[in-house]
Chain A
Amino acid sequence: MRESDEERFTAFVTAYSATLFRTAYLMTGDYQRAEDLLQTTLVRVYQRWSRVDEMDRPVAYARRILINQSVSWWRRRSSHETPTLRRDEPSWSGRVDQVAEHDRVWQAVLSLPPRQRAVTVLRYYEDLTEAEIAATLEMAPGTVKSHSHAAARRLAALLEEPAPDAAGRGMTAVTS
């Protein structure tokens, strides 16, 4: 690879790796897995950089690789249980209710089947349009719409229930 290509690849990583990582984290709920997904994605982008660099939006190509890998990873799991991780947040900060609320929503998102979760993350975190989500997930816009409706129904059902109590009851994993 030419030096100028190397420089552009470095600039690409600098500009987009954090966002790609956070998307991977939202998809997996697992820091280590998200880090692995990011590196594998960047390796593939690097191998095809001459072509990727010519695209209008190289980050869209990288996002597609990352999302499809994460969907595949979830589908390979023997169990689709919701990860039980909780972020370390100061309980004295006055944000307890807000943090609990956001964690509750995220746990619900993580319990969605992979493609419904991907549609949700791309829509509400990446702020992509329906057409952009369709291109990223390589599915028809109508399929995106149906996944989106299904996700909304599941989330509504989950989040209108009482929050999990101390024993973890009240919100169970949704299998896919």
Chain B
Amino acid sequence: MITQDRLTRALHDVADGVAAPEVDLAAVRSRARAKRTRAVTATAVTTAVAVIVAGPTVLGGGDRNATLPAASPLPSTSESATSPDGYTSAQYGFTIVPPDGWHYEAADRTWVWESDVRTHTWNSQSHENFSSPGDGGVVVSAWAVPLAPGAVPESRAALNAWVKNYCLSSGESPCAGMADRAVELCVEGSGCSVGLLGRVTGASYAFFTGGTHGSDTMTIVAVWRSETDVSVAPYGGARKLLERFLASMDVRPSTAETPPPD
């Protein structure tokens, strides 16, 4: 059996033998500020869209039978996400603090429109997935959709159109009226004027862009259960559970609005 001392000496010898580069602090600050500037600019006009959906099916035409299993939806390789600082996505950069005892299964890759929008299921390899403790009967997914330059929604109407297009592209229907049933979201304490919170089908979704989450992506968080499903009852329903995840990302619904009833 390899000894601990043998490993320690070898790794330190290798590490000591490589010269660390000099960090270009100006470049670090420039990259950080460039991203933040884009985000703030977008936030001034466009903040967030959230859609709560409730119904029997999962959004996604690629696999309409991909409704969430009754229990144990995540593979046994999922890991605890109980760190108080939350789980930081290596693929997307956001940090989420799930409820105590939840587990996560990391995304293997980033989300790509061409290949992922038509195969939109809860267990996509591009999703950061969180599962409830015990039987894992509730899964919450988060991912980010890249926005092409010039295609960033900059008004509520544009956001409505973007979400509707996403819904239609995924093969789900009906997507009409999604925006009418929506409630605003506020990203990182700023600009709540154009966010939305609403309902469409069998899961609950939040769509938002801006702030430190970046204006070049649309972050999506989904609870793959309907509002009244018994599995989300301990969390106060799908919307409340979604809001809990969003709050850990510093994204909150506007207090001025409440969603219409199912």
CA distance A65 to B91 in the complex (A): 11
Task: Report yes or no: A87 in contact with B14, Cβ–Cβ below 8 A.
Answer: yes
Partner of B14, one of A17, A26, A137, A155: A26
* Residues of chain B with a CB closer than 8 A to A80's CB: none
CA distance A72 to B126 in the complex (A): 12
Query: Using an 8 Å CB-CB cutoff, how does the interface string of B1-45 with A read, 1 for contact, 0 for none?
Result: 110101111111111111011011101110110011000000000
Name A110's closest neighbour in chain B (CB-CB).
Answer: B14
Name A60's closest neighbour in chain B (CB-CB).
Answer: B85
Task: Report yes or no: A31 in contact with B31, Cβ–Cβ below 8 A.
Answer: no
* Residues of chain B with a CB closer than 8 A to A124's CB: 4, 7-8, 11
B14, B21, B83, B93 — most chain A CB neighbours (10 Å): B14
Task: Report yes or no: A47 in contact with B36, Cβ–Cβ below 8 A.
Answer: yes
Query: Using an 8 Å CB-CB cutoff, how does the interface string of A32-68 with B read, 1 for contact, 0 for none?
Result: 0001001100111011100000010000010011001
Task: Report yes or no: B28 in contact with A138, Cβ–Cβ below 8 A.
Answer: no
* Residues of chain A with a CB closer than 8 A to B88's CB: 64-65, 68, 138
* Residues of chain B with a CB closer than 8 A to A71's CB: 90
CA distance A35 to B28 in the complex (A): 12
Task: Report yes or no: A106 in contact with B21, Cβ–Cβ below 8 A.
Answer: no
Task: State whether the Cβ of B80 lies closer than 8 Å to any Cβ in chain A.
Answer: yes
CA distance A69 to B93 in the complex (A): 9
What is the interface residue range for chain A against chain B?
35 or more
CA distance A27 to B31 in the complex (A): 24
Among B63-71, B102-110, B190-198, B217-225, the stretch in contact with A = B102-110
CA distance A43 to B212 in the complex (A): 12
Name A49's closest neighbour in chain B (CB-CB).
Answer: B32
* Residues of chain B with a CB closer than 8 A to A137's CB: 79
Within 104-147 of B, Cβ neighbours of A (below 8 Å) are at 104, 106, 108-109
CA distance A109 to B109 in the complex (A): 24
Task: Report yes or no: A138 in contact with B87, Cβ–Cβ below 8 A.
Answer: yes
Partner of B79, one of A64, A125, A143: A143
Task: Report yes or no: A121 in contact with B11, Cβ–Cβ below 8 A.
Answer: yes
A13, A55, A64, A135 — most chain B CB neighbours (10 Å): A64
Q: Which residues of A contact B (CB under 8 A)?
A: 10, 13, 17-18, 21-23, 25-26, 31, 35, 38-39, 42-44, 46-48, 55, 61, 64-65, 68-69, 71-72, 75-76, 87, 89, 98-99, 101-103, 105-106, 109, 120-121, 124-125, 134-135, 137-140, 143, 152, 155-156, 159
6 tightest Cβ-Cβ pairs between the two chains A and B: A72-B90, A105-B10, A18-B20, A140-B80, A139-B79, A22-B15
